[in-house]
Amino acid sequence: MNFNNNRLIHAVRRVRRPTQSQMRSYAIVFKLVLVGVLAFGTNPVRADSVRISQIDARSLLPTQQVRAYVSVLDAQGEPLRGLNADNFRVLESADGEQFEETDLIDVTRLDQSAEGIDFLLLIDNSGSMYQQRRDENGRPYKRIDHAREAVRSFVTDMPATNDRVALVSYNTKYVRHVDFTGDRTAVLAGLTQMRQPFDYDHFSEIYAALVRAIHDVGASGGRKVIVILSDGENRSYYAHLHQEHPDYGSRIYTPDEPLDLARREGLSIYTVNYGTSRYQRDKMLQQISLDTGGAVFDARNADELKNIYRTIARQVSGEYRLTARATMIPADRRFMRIEYNAANTGTDTVQATRRYFTGTVLGMPLRELTPLLILPLLLALLLLALLSRWKFEQKEHAPQLEVLNAGAAGSV
């Protein structure tokens, strides 16, 4: 048989091609199936998230109490209101595996308490922040101008509470412009003190700046937050120039140093990446934020930068301060777990775990007995024996009267 291949292929194609009405029918069926899956599928996914932002163990020794600052956010990143002790459970562990529940004494939302928040704003003042750029509309700008405007908005929007702000810039050096203060005018004036770096001051000593910032906020109690703005990666002065740093010498700071220090102090670090691609961001800086109970934000323009600073302020002020009675677990560091349940049923919970340092003023329990433990006892017994046999040269005598030159008394 002789077939007309072109006609056969055309016929097959014509049969397999669905009509417009068929396409509409398929679309309707697909939507119905999708709605059915969403309506009758498995358990819904909880959109709330919980994060332990800070643990304050300063009252552990005198009161056996520890405070945890907890952020509970909805799917849009907004703090949840109206929570109480029924929504939380606090547990502790020495090894991070076996947890023991402890008493929850108080739950207070920060913006409803008299406690203030200390914000240290750490601004990138490196050379790249002053480069002339153009936005999506072709208008020229410098990143430092957008940073100043974002901080200005952050400060002016702060409510008249006990919150304090410190303003610091960093490049090769670490410069304190304004120490912690509640005076908004002083902070705004400090923004004008940031100057463009010249010569070898254009580097970005991110890790060194974080270490110094943690020391600056470590002495204060209560909620402490570091917000660092960065437009690139860590660039060490000594590593690139092979010359001693004017302040740090030949020392090259590593990301482990601010991370360990922040963990010990129990504070959180928020990172704001501005205008950089994901390949140019400092990955370790982002990890530091996530490991310390902070968060990472990316801004591409001035409006996004302003909104990020406002978001950080809302999230921190909307945190809950949980006061709990610490367990008597003998460990120099403990793990705290916070369980959050919106429905108060305990069947569907979201949890977060963070480690904190206790100090162990009273020491640690013994893991094994050693002969050296007997040595202090033997030394004490030997000292007691020596003292009992000691003979003092000066002994106490009964008072006596001694007459000197008795014959001279009768002569005139």
pLDDT of the residue at 151: 97
Taking residues 123-143, what's their average pLDDT? 92
Q: Which is higher by pLDDT, 63 or 218?
A: 63
Q: Is the pLDDT at 83 greater than 90, yes or no? A: yes
Q: Which is higher by pLDDT, 358 or 182?
A: 182
Q: Which is higher by pLDDT, 376 or 26?
A: 376
Q: How confident is the model at residue 114 (pLDDT cuts 50, 70, 90)?
A: confident
* Maximal CA-CA distance, the chain: 176
Q: Which is higher by pLDDT, 14 or 388?
A: 388
Distances, alpha carbon 350 to alpha carbons 55, 291, 323, 363, in Å: 18, 18, 19, 34
| pLDDT digits 0-9 by tens, 32-58 | 434 343 333 333 334 589 999 999 988
Q: Which is higher by pLDDT, 288 or 20?
A: 288
User: 227 in helix, strand or coil?
Assistant: strand
Q: Say which DSSP state 338 is in.
A: E
pLDDT of the residue at 393: 47
**395 Ramachandran zone, left/alpha/beta (phi>0; psi -120 to 50):** beta
pLDDT of the residue at 135: 86
User: 261 in helix, strand or coil?
Assistant: helix
Q: Is the pLDDT at 111 greater than 50, yes or no? A: yes
pLDDT of the residue at 330: 75
Question: Looking at domain 112-318, which of 1.10.10.1590, 3.40.50.300, 3.40.50.410, 3.40.50.620 is its CATH number?
Answer: 3.40.50.410
Distance of CA 280 to the CA centre of its chain: 23
Q: Which is higher by pLDDT, 403 or 348?
A: 348
Taking residues 301-305, what's their average pLDDT? 94
pLDDT of the residue at 381: 78
| pLDDT digits 0-9 by tens, 245-277 | 999 999 999 999 999 999 988 899 999 999 866
pLDDT of the residue at 275: 80
pLDDT of the residue at 22: 54
pLDDT of the residue at 64: 86
- Which token pair is 4? 């007309």
Q: Is the pLDDT at 363 greater than 60, yes or no? A: no
Place of tokens 């790249």: 128
- Which token pair is 137? 């509309």
pLDDT of the residue at 163: 92
Question: Looking at domain 49-109+323-357, which of 2.60.40, 1.10.3430, 2.40.50, 3.30.1540 is its CATH number?
Answer: 2.60.40
Helix (H) or strand (E) holding 21: helix 20-40
- For residues 46 and 350, the answer to whether their CB atoms sit within 8 Å is yes
Q: How confident is the model at residue 383 (pLDDT cuts 50, 70, 90)?
A: confident
- 138-152, 239-253, 334-348, 375-389: which range is least confident on average? 375-389
Q: Which is higher by pLDDT, 162 or 345?
A: 162
CB atoms within 10 A of CB 411: 5
Q: How confident is the model at residue 329 (pLDDT cuts 50, 70, 90)?
A: confident
Q: How confident is the model at residue 6 (pLDDT cuts 50, 70, 90)?
A: very low
Q: How confident is the model at residue 31 (pLDDT cuts 50, 70, 90)?
A: very low
Q: How confident is the model at residue 150 (pLDDT cuts 50, 70, 90)?
A: very high
* Cα dihedral value 159, 160, 161, 164, nearest 10: 90
Mean pLDDT in the chain? 81
Taking residues 329-341, what's their average pLDDT? 87
Q: pTM (2 decimals)?
A: 0.75
Q: Where are the domains of the chain?
A: 49-109+323-357, 112-318
Residue 1's contacts (CB-CB under 8 Å, 6 or more residues apart) are: none
- For residues 65 and 333, the answer to whether their CB atoms sit within 8 Å is no
Q: Is the pLDDT at 2 greater than 50, yes or no? A: no
Please measure the distance between the N-terminal and C-terminal CA atoms of the chain and give it in whole angstroms: 176
Planar angle of CA 167, 173, 174, nearest 5 degrees: 30
pLDDT of the residue at 373: 52
pLDDT of the residue at 412: 43
- For residues 124 and 231, the answer to whether their CB atoms sit within 8 Å is yes
Distances, alpha carbon 174 to alpha carbons 139, 214, 217, in Å: 31, 12, 14
